[in-house]
């Protein structure tokens, strides 16, 4: 039995259901599947016997000094093994069409699926030449607005605050950018947001207001398919990119200003997803692609207020700023 899902503009076929995702009707994938995911299959003999070299090892270490994440590259081919410190392992075949997933008895399918839906598919998109922002994305009117920034800057929290205001959410953490002629579009990920407990408390008054993403994990799960929230299931044109910066205690915050030229390009380069795993040719391709993005899409720098109680004002400021940008763009075209 197989299960079909749409994630990041890709059609996945899996041998086991993925918790938290909505099944696609069989008629929704007439062209077939982009990726086949086989859970708990282990690795084939050919993969285990192949010669491997380290492609990437994370700087984050376990208590034993081992990398939390290691990516191995198969010598003489384009296959990869993505290995986590807890024993969860993914094998990506040379064509990027099949992913084998296995995990030890000490963890669960749900844990493996959380890796798959974030960093593993994010890495696979980069291998396919798709540039991804480390960002969240929400719908404002008929456009997608990306909210980028370094870890801990409040991307997911801001997206959740937008969701509470009635805005549809496209993606969280991994935002693929697609070029369409002389414009760019964002494709949806899947219908949930992951939030740290302090963000849940700031939004809902209690850390326990949302369920845990996984047993034993601190992160909480906001389902966008539930009543009162919306998941944007169709791609939208990219209208603007807002980069969250250092928080301010100034009563006038949040502050939003334009970022132009080389500064805007650099601000996007440092906020792409899985950028530490890119080789030289992939980095060159990314740099060229982002150069076209900043010539077409406004990039804005945001300094939010440090008080989490002012998230509503931050969303309002971003929405108003974007609508002013759109109005100016329409006037320019006339």
Are 296 and 183 in contact by the 8 Å Cβ rule? The answer is yes
* Residue 215 confidence (pLDDT): 80
Are 186 and 171 in contact by the 8 Å Cβ rule? The answer is yes
Give percent of the chain with pLDDT exceeding 70: 94
Count up the domains in the chain and report the number: 2
User: Which structural domain, as residue segments, surrounds residue 86?
Assistant: 3-127
45 falls in which pLDDT band (50, 70, 90)?
Answer: low
Q: What is the pLDDT of residues 280-313, one digit of tens each?
A: 888 999 999 999 999 999 999 999 999 999 999 9
Angle among Cα 7, 12, 16 to the nearest 5 degrees reads 115
Q: Is the pLDDT of residue 26 over 70?
A: no
Asked whether the whole model's pTM tops 0.85, one would answer: yes
Q: Picking from 116-125, 127-136, 221-230, 276-285, which range would have the lowest pLDDT averaged per residue?
A: 276-285
User: How many whole angstroms from its chain centre is CA 307?
Assistant: 25
214 and 317 fall within a common domain:
yes
Domain edge (last residue) among 127, 161, 186: 127
272 falls in which pLDDT band (50, 70, 90)?
Answer: very high
181 and 246 fall within a common domain:
yes
46 falls in which pLDDT band (50, 70, 90)?
Answer: low
Residue indicated by tokens 């963000």:
199
* Residue 153 confidence (pLDDT): 93
Domain edge (last residue) among 127, 159, 174: 127
22 and 166 fall within a common domain:
no
What is the spatial distance between Cα 72 and Cα 91, in angstroms, rounded to a whole number? Answer: 9
Q: Is the pLDDT of residue 5 over 60?
A: yes
Are 208 and 196 in contact by the 8 Å Cβ rule? The answer is no
77 falls in which pLDDT band (50, 70, 90)?
Answer: low
């Amino acid at each position: 039995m197989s299960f079909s899902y749409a994630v990041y503009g890709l059609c996945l076929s899996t041998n086991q259901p993925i918790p938290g995702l909505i099944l696609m009707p069989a008629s929704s994938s007439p062209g077939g599947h982009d990726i086949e995911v086989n859970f708990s299959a282990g690795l084939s003999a050919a993969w285990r016997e192949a010669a491997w070299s380290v492609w990437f090892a994370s700087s984050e270490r376990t208590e034993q000094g081992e990398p939390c994440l290691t990516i191995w590259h198969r010598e003489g081919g384009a296959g990869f093994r993505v290995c986590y410190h807890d024993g969860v392992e993914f094998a990506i075949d040379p064509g990027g069409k099949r992913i084998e997933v296995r995990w030890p008895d000490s963890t669960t399918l749900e844990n493996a699926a959380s890796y798959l839906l974030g960093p593993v598919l994010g890495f696979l998109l980069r291998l396919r030449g798709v540039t991804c922002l480390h960002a969240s994305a929400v719908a404002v009117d008929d456009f997608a607005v990306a909210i980028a920034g370094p870890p801990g800057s409040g991307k997911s929290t801001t997206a959740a605050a937008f969701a509470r205001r009635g805005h549809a959410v496209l993606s969280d953490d991994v935002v693929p950018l697609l070029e369409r002629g002389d414009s760019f579009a964002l494709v949806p990920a899947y219908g949930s947001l992951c939030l740290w407990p302090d963000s849940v408390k700031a939004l809902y008054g209690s850390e326990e207001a949302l369920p845990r993403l996984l047993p034993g994990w601190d992160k909480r799960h906001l389902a966008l398919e539930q009543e009162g929230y919306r998941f944007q299931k169709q791609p939208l044109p990219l209208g603007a990119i807002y980069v969250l910066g250092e928080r301010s205690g100034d009563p006038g915050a949040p502050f939003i200003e334009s970022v132009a030229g080389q500064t805007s390009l650099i601000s996007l380069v440092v906020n792409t997803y899985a950028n530490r795993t890119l080789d030289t040719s992939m980095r060159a391709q990314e740099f060229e692609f982002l150069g076209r993005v900043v010539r077409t899409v406004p990039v804005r720098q945001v300094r939010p207020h440090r008080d989490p109680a002012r998230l509503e004002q931050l969303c309002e400021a971003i929405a108003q700023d974007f609508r002013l940008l759109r109005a100016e763009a329409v006037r320019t075209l006339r």
